[in-house]
Amino acid sequence: MEAGRVFIENSWQSPASGRTLSVIDPSDGREFARIARGGAEDIEGAVEAARRCFDAGWGRLAGFERGRVLMKVRERILDHAEELALTESRDCGKPLRQARNDVAACARYFEFYAGAADKIEGRTLPYAPEFTVLTIREPYGVTGHIIPWNYPLQIFGRSVAAALAAGNACVVKPSEDACLSLLHLAEWMAEAGLPSGAINFVPGLGVEAGAALAAHPGIDHISFTGSPQTGTRVAQAAAMHHHPVTLELGGKSPQIVFADADLDAAVPVIVNAVVQNAGQTCSAGSRLLVERGCYDEVLERLGAAFSRLRVASAHADSDCGPLIRRSQLDRVRGFLDEAERDGLVRVAQGQVETDAPAGGYYQVPVLLRDVPVGHRLAQEEVFGPVLAAMAFESEDDAVRLANATRFGLVAGVWTRDGGRALRVARRLRCGQVFINNYGAGGGVELPFGGVKSSGHGREKGIEGLLSFTTLKTIAIRHG
Ligand code: NDP
């Protein structure tokens, strides 16, 4: 990787601005690298390069040939797994084992979509007897990908591997806050055999490079993961040129515990669902809904678990690393100040290790109880390790509370009653439901995405692949 450059047509180039941005280590608040400050001109160059690549035939290549290239990308990722994990860990402030997991997941996306590239099928449709009608799926052409800072490798993998497998050429705007792992990947993807222009990276500010990509008339589809506010801007920009958009905008996802649940199994999973990646996870289980009969017991167990949680530098590989940046720490503290002002009860909290470097963006995990359903802590995405608990009285009440936010991404249901688990799952307004687990270990194969303000469109699985294709109907009249 060449620091301070953009990657277009398989080569490193100086950004048109000639400027760079500093990369801060969230564990100590110090600059440790610099990246290019790409902007509209670089996006222009990247989109043109992607279009040339697409027109030159990447999308017309046999699916199995694209699949073979993607499988080589997977091998490159695994060859460099530890280097990538160390980079991702430092850049994002992730505990190292989490970063290793993210590398493995990224490789798995390339594996999954490599295998699926030659299985993109159409249908034949019954119609009038003098016709044969069939549908075929084609790539859009040039796809834009705006990747956030919380899981750069994973979100890149789920979006870009699918788009490439479908035959698109991609322009990627990674986050200025964490993009080094993706810039490392750039060269390895070229070495794996991706044709020039199939993958282009323009790091830079969201409001400059990101906005330019979303608004570019030369792209045919854009996928975005981030906040609802920026998602709205991206969708508005895309609407000017009628580009389809996939939006994944986070959530306020409920973990619902009935009194008959296996609490030994549930408690560690509930903790992990909100503490993983310091709570900076779109699908974080940040609301806890517990049946009144076991509410106090669950909070007691969770309180003990939260008190044991330790926060430290990414490299220390503790339960929680730092948050991504100072403004994210301020945002989470703002929520907690509000909770205190409103008299919400803090059941327990973790602890920052004494040797955590000064200047890092450390936030202890916090468990709050009796949070009213209308409170901001129960309604808005905190994106930090904060769990808001409340009691419910009945199955209907649980469903009512679970659905009572503007979000609808995922949910967890803990019960030993199979009928109830399915009844509740079907009444929840969200894109994924986990019964007696949370997250199913990541699940590359499992379609993922939201309803309501959590966004629309699906990533992961075969649906994620198909979302990067457009459907053409061919009607043949043969008499
Ligand atoms: P944003 O939604 O602003 O950032 C997400 C991505 O969008 C980043 O790559 C960013 O680039 C880019 N971006 C920013 N502005 C624009 C723009 N005008 N046009 C196009 N792209 C843009 O989120 P923040 O980083 O500001 O985080 C705020 C909150 O958003 C978090 O607290 C969290 O609640 C939520 N969020 C949710 C995520 C999820 O996984 N669902 C991921 C990230 C944030 P850059 O970083 O370079 O500015």
Q: What is the pLDDT of residue 46?
A: 98
Q: Is 248 in the pocket of ligand 1 (CB under 6 A)?
A: yes
Domain co-membership, 241 together with 297: no
Q: How far is the CA of 155 from the centre of ligand 1 (A)?
A: 13
Only one residue has tokens 């902007």, namely 39
Pocket of ligand 1, candidates 227, 326, 459: which has the most ligand atoms within 8 Å of its Cβ, to mutate? 227
Whether 459 maps to a domain, the answer reads no
Q: Between 280 and 2, whose confidence is greater?
A: 280
Which is catalytic among the residues 92, 179, 282, 294? 282
The CB of 207 under 6 Å from ligand 1? The reply is: yes
Q: Is the CB of 208 under 6 A from ligand 1?
A: no
Q: Which of 9, 208, 248, 291 is catalytic?
A: 248
Is ligand 1 within 6 A of the CB of residue 226? yes
Q: Measure the N-to-C terminal CA separation of the chain; round to a whole number of Å.
A: 60
Token pair recorded at residue 313:
């530098």
Task: Decide if pLDDT at 313 tops 90.
Answer: yes
State yes or no: pLDDT of 366 exceeds 80.
yes
Whether residue 387 sits in one domain with residue 240: no
Report the alpha-carbon distance of residue 260 to residue 393 in Å, rounded: 14
128 lies in some domain = yes
Of 201, 216, 249, the residue at which a domain comes to its end is 249
Let me know whether 234 and 284 are in one domain. Answer: no
**231 with 323, same domain?**
no
Q: For residues 342 and 268, state if they share a domain.
A: yes
Question: Same domain, yes or no, for 213 and 349?
Answer: no
**Residue 339, helix vs strand vs coil:** helix
State how many domains the chain has. 2
Check residue 3 and give its pLDDT: 80
Token pair of 450 as six digits: 């939201």
| Domain-located, residue 212 | yes
| Mean of pLDDT values over 54-75 | 97
For residue range 70-79, list pLDDT tens digits in order.
Answer: 999 999 999 9
**Residue whose structure tokens are 């282009």:** 200
CB atoms near residue 76 (< 10 Å): 21
* Closest-CA residue to 185 (of 165, 144, 149, 157): 157
Reply yes or no on whether the pLDDT at 142 is more than 90: yes
- Residue 441's pLDDT band, with cuts at 50, 70 and 90, is confident
Q: Which domain holds residue 329?
A: 254-443
How much is the CA Rg of the chain, to the nearest whole Å? 23
> In the predicted model, what is the mean pLDDT of residues 170-184?
98
Band of residue 356 on the pLDDT scale cut at 50, 70, 90 = very high
pLDDT on residue 2: 76
Q: Are residues 197 and 283 in the same domain?
A: no
Mean local confidence (pLDDT), 197-225: 98
Which atom of ligand 1 has the smallest separation from the CA of 155?
Answer: 40
Whether residue 269 sits in one domain with residue 241: no
Residue nearest (by alpha carbon) to ligand 1 atom 10: 206
Residue 392, domain CATH? 3.40.309.10
Indicate if 248 belongs to the active site. Answer: yes
Smallest CA-to-CA distance from 464 within 435, 431, 438 is with 431
Give pLDDT, residue 477: 98
Domain boundary among 249, 284, 317: 249
Return the beta strands (E) in 236-371 as ranges.
245-248, 254-257, 287-291, 310-311, 345-349, 351-352, 366-369
> Do 245 and 265 lie in a common domain?
no
Q: Is residue 477 assigned to a domain?
A: no
321 φ/ψ angles, rounded to the nearest 5 degrees = -95, -170
Judgement on whether residues 425 and 287 belong to the same structural domain of the protein: yes
Q: Are residues 349 and 382 in the same domain?
A: yes
Q: Report the amino acid identity of residue 225.
A: T
Angle at 406 between CA 400 and CA 407, to 5 degrees: 90
> What pTM was computed for the model?
0.97
pLDDT at 186 over 80: yes
Task: Write the pLDDT tens digit of every residue in 254-294.
Answer: 999 999 999 999 999 999 999 999 999 999 999 999 999 99
Q: Is residue 455 part of a domain?
A: no
Confidence of residue 412 (pLDDT cuts 50, 70, 90): very high
Q: How far is the CA of 230 from the centre of ligand 1 (A)?
A: 6
Task: Say if 451 falls within a structural domain.
Answer: no
Alpha helices in 117-205 (DSSP H): 152-156, 162-165, 180-191
**Does residue 474 lie in a domain region?**
no
Q: Is residue 452 part of a domain?
A: no
**Beta-carbon contacts of residue 218 (< 8 Å; ≥ 6 apart):** 47, 48, 51, 142
Q: Which residue owns the Cα nearest ligand 1 atom 21?
A: 210
Does residue 98 sit in the same domain as residue 11?
Answer: yes
Reported as a single tens digit per residue, the pLDDT across 257-266 is: 999 999 999 9
